[in-house]
Every structure is written in structure tokens, then in C-alpha cells.
Amino acid sequence: MPTTLHSDIEYLKGVGRARGEMYRRLGIESPYDLIYHIPRSYLDYRTHVPIAQAELGQYNVLKLTVTHKLPPQRIRGGLVICKAGATDGIDDILIVVYNNVYAFQALKENSTYYMYGKVMGNFLRKEISSPTYIKEEESVLIQPIYPLTQGLSVNMVRTNMRQALSIMHSEPFETLPPQILQKYGLCPLMTALEDIHFPRSEESAEEARRRLAFDELLKLQLGMSMMKRRSRKETAYSMDSSVDVSEFTGGLPFELTDDQQKAVGEIVADLCRAVPMNRLLQGDVGSGKTAVAAAACYFAAKNGIQSALMAPTEILAAQHHRTLADFLEPFGVRVCLLTGSMTAKKKAATREKIAEGQFDVIVGTHAIIQKDVEYRSLGLVITDEQHRFGVAQRAALAEKGESPHKLVMSATPIPRTLALMIYGDLDISAITQLPKGRRPIKTYAVTGKLRHRAFGFVRDRLAEGRQAYVVCPMIEETESELHAVRTYAENAAKEDLKGCTTALLHGKMRAAEKDKVMKRFRDGEIQVLICTTVVEVGVDVPNAAVMVIENAERFGLSQLHQLRGRVGRGEYESSCILITDNTSEECVRRMKIMSSTTDGFKISEEDLKMRGPGDFFGSAQHGLPPLKIADIACNMELMNRAQTCARELLEEDPELSKPEHTPLKMDVLRLFNKDIIG
């Protein structure tokens, strides 16, 4: 039987058990998977420079003729070093190859090569170490760089790739109908797959990447839209529109903003329909999403329906529980908290009451979606800071109700196109204005030299009765980082914050301890909370009006914005001081943006510009199927086009059931790895 695209990868020539295992480690099980193993980037050997112009300490491409090879030297530890003299016709250089006799043997004296490697040395004597190279007479001077694994080399991949591609040509396929290729100016799929691995030119590699990225984005869009349509067919509990939600909103201690009001209206309208709501409530930090969620819970409760609100951390769950209880209990709506860290006895008692319907609103962490929690009438499910939950968790929660109405709240103000990509299966309500009377947070970026003065400023604000956060980055939550934060807190208590009451808060503390510290901070017993990014999401203490962020260079723009959103939540003028000694261009730019605006949308757009949309897809926070090509190659324009194309296709053929759409439909199903259509 001839080897086909879907045969086992080991059927390819030269691939045995061992190499097969290496491929499988990269998720490659068949020749088909291999041709979709997309190069990360390309090495362009045409960019070669004369030796005299090579940048020392950097990777350079040189065009070198090997003049004389020296015998291999063995040094201790079994290491072998091979050296050869070479020239570019003007200057000489030494080629040094460590521990790879095989690669060295392939080099021939008096032959010319393009070589890529790190150039070291000085003005007089230079060497290039362990270069990768191709022969001068090679016809294409662009070579793919693949994600590889231990033991697998570019050359092995290239050899196997050639065979896989020739199999492909014997089983021709195409996923898009010709009129789409034409309309969107895309090259045929097989051309793209050939060119991405063996580009004929830089342009052809670019064209190939564009086509493959388009495919991926299109499939994502199609899958999302189909999921959305499917959920439209489910039936949910349709609530009674005569329940008056303004009895609740009118009784709040503040007046809702127009956007909040509008969001409440949209949600209530959704809840009154028999198709499940699937809505994203998007609003910048501090825009008041919780009050909107509370209104939705009120409306459901007065309809005799239970609501569940899921938060990403215990701190946040506890805070939501308190806020919702304060808002709702005066109206006879019963709110409870259920988290993993409660005692078994307490949990069991709470679960029993939930099952009996003695609670209307259940707030918690992911504990509330575990199998052993039974609801009496769950009809509304709210997740806060949804970008922290994956699709799987959302789905698990959805199983608790018949087909509950779903509301997800997010403070990540991503541009609309991207929101549609990531939350393509959702409708969107946006809160774009902050509540009245908020004063913009003043932000300053300073170097460590000014730390002392910065803390002088903090002490002044404390003397006025305000409270402060000091954020220390703890990226990996390792013991040593924890140690650093503890030491920092101790020193601060002795020096800059002498005489102030301080407390430490970090993610490794037990839930009960965290709660206690948060409670004391909220009650004003603690003036300064020295903390890690556990305060990043959601924490709401309006009297806290100053934030100091240490090592600010270690945070991305969006994260800085989230952190900063912990202050400026009340009537007081608030400030944020970013401390960093990093003077890299990128860091300086980030600090400038932070100091010049508090608009979350602007910040996330800048973030997007600096990092590229790939980072959003790559971050794995959204629970989407992984994207391989779009991740690297996509840009906003391509996303817009893929979106338009998806819309047109589904208008013409909602189930993609026409024969010319079958390959595409199969691909969509494969990407989402489940039955999303029907």
C-alpha cells in the first residue's frame, strides 16, 4: 500500500521509531500533520555581509570559502572542537564547530558556503561559532526555521518534508472554492503548503503564510458562528418581563450610568427570551460591571430562578459575595458563597441549601461548577473576568442548568474586531464611561533613585486618611521570589513606611489568611497593602488612593492597567507611581503610555500594536482552539477579511452543507475537535 497523507509518520523514508517519537512530541503523527508544521520564520542567506562588517557578539550571515581544515581537538569531558580557516576574499575568519564532527566533515576545502552563526573576537581576529550553512550553489537562499525538538534537525525535517509534499501532490486537495480564492486574492492551498516550506522567493513565502493564516482565521470564525447559532436553537427559561428591575436599580446608593442602564436593559431583554443569552459585558476597570450583574441576578431571583457567579480567585469571590449581598439582601434576595477552601461541613450545608432553593444567588470560584453541586433552578450563569476561564469551564457550568442564560464580564478592553474573534459566539454590551465624579488617576514613572521621595508622597496621602497598595512583581511564585517580597515588606516596614501599619498579601497564603488581610485592609485597619499581582483583578477598596508598582518593567501594558485600576475607584484623587530602572526603548514607551492615558481601550490598542495580535491568541487565556499560523502571521486587516468571508459563506450556506464546502466544514470540525454543528 502506498504511503498516504494520513499514514503513520513512520512510513516516511528515514523515519523509524525514534524519529517518529520526536515528531509525535511535536504533535505530528502523519505526513499531513508534517506539511502543516509551519516554519517559525526564515533565515535569509542573501543578507550576507563582508567579514569586516560583521557585528561582533551577534548572529551574522557570511559568505565564506573554506581554506584549510584543522584536525579535531579533544578536550576534557569528551568534548570535540573542530576548526577551519576561511576567507571572504578580503579578510580571514576561523570557523569553530563544537561537538559536531558530522557537521564539520561535510565542509569541503575550497568550497564556498553561506554561513549563519554568532561572530566573536576583535578587530584583528574573528571566529564564527557552530554556524548553520548551505552551499553557494543552492538555488533558494531562504531556509525555514522550524520548531524542533531534541535530536531532530532542520535537515531531517527538510528531507521528510520533501517526501510528504510529493505525496500531497499525488492526492490534490483544496479547502476553499475558487471564487473565494479570487475574491480575497489568495493562492491555491497546495502552492501555499509547498512555498511555506520551500519558498521560491521571499514574496512566495509571504503569500503562502497569508493564505494559511487566512484559512485558520476563517475556520475560527466559522466555528464560532456555528456555535453561536447552535446555542440559539437551545431553549432557556424565558423570564417574565413584568418584573420591574428598576425597583432594584432605583434603590442603589448611586445612579447607574447610561451605559450601565443600557446593559441592564439588554440583559433583561435577553433573559425574557427562550433562547439562552450569550452575552459579553465588557467594561474598563472600575466601570461598574458588578452592579449590572447584580441587577441581572435580581431579575432572575424575582422570577424564581437561581444565578451563579463565578470569579477567578477566592479573594474576588469573597468580595463579590459581600457586594452582592449588600446590594441584594435588602430586596429579599438570598446570596451565598461557596469556595474550595471552606470546611467540608460548611460546604455540605451550603450545597444542601442550594439544592433546596434556599439561596437565589451562588457566588464562588470554580468550586461551584463541580459535579457535587446541585441546583434547584439554575437559569443564569455569570463569569467574571472571563478571559481567565477557558471554554471548557464555561461549558461545564452550562451543564448545570438546562440551558442557562450566560453572561461573561471582562475588563480587558480589546478592540472590537479582536473581541469578535475571541468571543465570536457572544453578543456584546459595552460600558464605555466611568461613573460620575471619578477623577483620572495621575500616573508617574520614576527611577529607583526617587523611591524615597515617592514614599514620602505615599506617607502624605496616608496622613490624609487614604490607603495604599505597593505591588511587587512575583512572576513565578517561587520560594525565592516569595522571599524577595517578604524581605521587601520587612525593610519597608522598617524604613520608608516606618510607623505605618502594613501587611503582606500574596497568592501562596491560605485563603482564610488572605480573607483576613483583605478584610482588615477594607476596614481601614491596614494602611498599606504590600502585595503581589493577587490584587490584579477586581479588588475594590475605594479608600485606597495610591499605588506604587515596583519593577514596573516586568509587567505588560494591559496588566499595568489592570493593577492601576485598583485605585481611583472612589471620590478621592488617586495616583500611581511606577518605579523602574529599566531604560530600554520598549519599557520607556510603556511607561510613557501609562503616564499619558487611563483609557483602557487606548492602552490595549497600544499593547496590541507593540505585541501584535498573535500574543492574544498565544496567551491561552481565552480557551480557543490553538492557532498555529495566524498566531505568527496575522494582522488586523487579515482578520477583518476572514471575518467578512465567514459571514458571506454562512449567509449563502448556513450549515456549510453544500458539496463545495465539505472540505472546509471538515476542517472546522477538526479545529474545534467536537461536534459544534447541528
Q: Please choose which of Mg ion, ligand ADP, none residue 429 contacts, taking the beta carbon within 5 to 8 angstroms, the exact cut-off set by kind.
A: none
What distance in Å separates the CA atoms of residue 324 and residue 316, rounded to the nearest whole number?
12
Question: In which element (H, E) is residue 383 found?
Answer: strand 378-384
Q: Please choose which of Mg ion, ligand ADP, none residue 287 contacts, taking the beta carbon within 5 to 8 angstroms, the exact cut-off set by kind.
A: ligand ADP
Q: Is 600 in the site for Mg ion (CB under 5 A)?
A: no
Least Å distance, CB 408 to ligand ADP, is 13
CB-facing half-sphere around the CA of 164: CA atoms within 13 A: 30
- Select 295 or 420, whichever has its Cβ closest to ligand ADP: 295
The answer to whether 236 and 402 are in contact (CB under 8 A) is yes
Residues 197-236 that bind Mg ion (CB under 5 A): none
As beta bridge partners, residue 116 has 61, 132
> Measuring CA to CA, how many Å separate 656 from each of 187, 478, 553, 669?
22, 49, 48, 11
Cell of 310: 463565578
Please tell me what DSSP assigns to residue 438. Answer: -
Among residues 285, 407, 408, 441, the one that binds ligand ADP under rule CB under 6 A:
285
Question: In which element (H, E) is residue 484 found?
Answer: helix 479-494
Least Å distance, CB 144 to ligand ADP, is 45
Q: Please choose which of Mg ion, ligand ADP, none residue 285 contacts, taking the beta carbon within 5 to 8 angstroms, the exact cut-off set by kind.
A: ligand ADP
Q: Which of 15, 42, 43 is nearest to 30 (CA)?
A: 15
- Select 160 or 290, whichever has its Cβ closest to Mg ion: 290
The answer to whether 128 and 55 are in contact (CB under 8 A) is no
Q: Pattern 563-602, binding to ligand ADP, x per CB under 6 A?
A: ------x---------------------------------
What distance in Å separates the CA atoms of residue 308 and residue 304, rounded to the nearest whole number?
13
Q: Pattern 426-445, binding to ligand ADP, x per CB under 6 A?
A: ---------x----------
What distance in Å separates the CA atoms of residue 176 and residue 102, rounded to the nearest whole number?
45
- Select 289 or 388, whichever has its Cβ closest to ligand ADP: 289
Among residues 223, 276, 283, 424, the one that binds ligand ADP under rule CB under 6 A:
283
Least Å distance, CB 384 to Mg ion, is 6
Q: Is 379 in the site for Mg ion (CB under 5 A)?
A: no
Least Å distance, CB 386 to Mg ion, is 11
Cell of 540: 475594590
Q: Is 538 in the site for Mg ion (CB under 5 A)?
A: yes
Q: What is the DSSP string of 221-246?
A: HHHHHHHHHHHHHS--PPPPTTS-TH
What distance in Å separates the CA atoms of residue 253 and residue 639, rounded to the nearest whole number?
43
Q: Is 568 in the site for Mg ion (CB under 5 A)?
A: no
Packing angle of the helix pair 314-328, 511-522 (nearest 10 deg): 50
Q: Which stretch binds ligand ADP (CB under 6 A): 222-230, 286-294, 339-347, 629-637?
A: 286-294
Residues 528-547 that bind ligand ADP (CB under 6 A): 538, 540, 542
What distance in Å separates the CA atoms of residue 111 and residue 86, rounded to the nearest whole number?
10
Residues 337-376 that bind ligand ADP (CB under 6 A): none
The answer to whether 364 and 331 are in contact (CB under 8 A) is no
- Select 223 or 538, whichever has its Cβ closest to Mg ion: 538
Q: Please choose which of Mg ion, ligand ADP, none residue 401 contacts, taking the beta carbon within 5 to 8 angstroms, the exact cut-off set by kind.
A: none
- Select 424 or 538, whichever has its Cβ closest to Mg ion: 538
Q: Which of 309, 295, 292 is nearest to 361 (CA)?
A: 309
Q: Would you say the C-alpha torsion 608, 614, 615, 617 has a positive or negative sign? A: positive
- Residue 121: alpha-carbon gap to chain centroid: 41
Least Å distance, CB 406 to Mg ion, is 17
Q: Which stretch binds Mg ion (CB under 5 A): 73-81, 101-109, 533-541, 628-636?
A: 533-541
Q: Which of 545, 537, 207 is nearest to 385 (CA)?
A: 537
- Select 287 or 643, whichever has its Cβ closest to ligand ADP: 287
Q: Please choose which of ligand ADP, Mg ion, none residue 97 contacts, taking the beta carbon within 5 to 8 angstroms, the exact cut-off set by kind.
A: none
Least Å distance, CB 500 to ligand ADP, is 24
Q: Is 413 in the site for Mg ion (CB under 5 A)?
A: no
Q: What is the DSSP string of 557-615?
A: HHHHHHHHTTSS-SSS--EEEEE-----HHHHHHHHHHHH---HHHHHHHHHHHH-THH
Q: Which of 419, 425, 428 is nearest to 398 (CA)?
A: 425
Q: Is 131 in the site for Mg ion (CB under 5 A)?
A: no
Least Å distance, CB 120 to ligand ADP, is 52
Q: Is 167 in the site for ligand ADP (CB under 6 A)?
A: no
Q: Is 467 in the site for ligand ADP (CB under 6 A)?
A: no
As beta bridge partners, residue 584 has none
The answer to whether 434 and 413 are in contact (CB under 8 A) is no
Please tell me what DSSP assigns to residue 440. Answer: P
- Select 293 or 454, whichever has its Cβ closest to Mg ion: 293
Instruction: Name the 3-class secondary structure at 567.
Output: coil
Q: Please choose which of ligand ADP, Mg ion, none residue 435 contacts, taking the beta carbon within 5 to 8 angstroms, the exact cut-off set by kind.
A: ligand ADP
Q: Please choose which of Mg ion, ligand ADP, none residue 260 contacts, taking the beta carbon within 5 to 8 angstroms, the exact cut-off set by kind.
A: ligand ADP
Q: Is 676 in the site for ligand ADP (CB under 6 A)?
A: no
> Measuring CA to CA, how many Å separate 137 from each of 117, 133, 134, 145, 199?
19, 12, 8, 20, 16
Packing angle of the helix pair 636-652, 202-233 (nearest 10 deg): 50
Q: Please choose which of ligand ADP, Mg ion, none residue 308 contacts, taking the beta carbon within 5 to 8 angstroms, the exact cut-off set by kind.
A: none
What distance in Å separates the CA atoms of residue 615 and residue 631, rounded to the nearest whole number?
7
What residue number has its CB nearest to ligand ADP?
288
- Select 257 or 386, whichever has its Cβ closest to ligand ADP: 257
Among residues 3, 30, 60, 260, the one that binds ligand ADP under rule CB under 6 A:
260
Q: Is 290 in the site for ligand ADP (CB under 6 A)?
A: yes
Among residues 63, 211, 289, 388, the one that binds ligand ADP under rule CB under 6 A:
289
What distance in Å separates the CA atoms of residue 277 and residue 367, rounded to the nearest whole number?
23
Residues 384-413 that bind ligand ADP (CB under 6 A): 411
- Select 15 or 285, whichever has its Cβ closest to Mg ion: 285
Q: Which of 267, 312, 316 is nearest to 292 (CA)?
A: 267
What residue number has its CB nearest to Mg ion?
538
- Select 473 or 568, whichever has its Cβ closest to ligand ADP: 568
Residues in contact with Mg ion by CB under 5 A are: 538
Interface contacts to ligand ADP, rule CB under 6 A: 254-257, 260, 283, 285-291, 411, 435, 538, 540, 542, 569
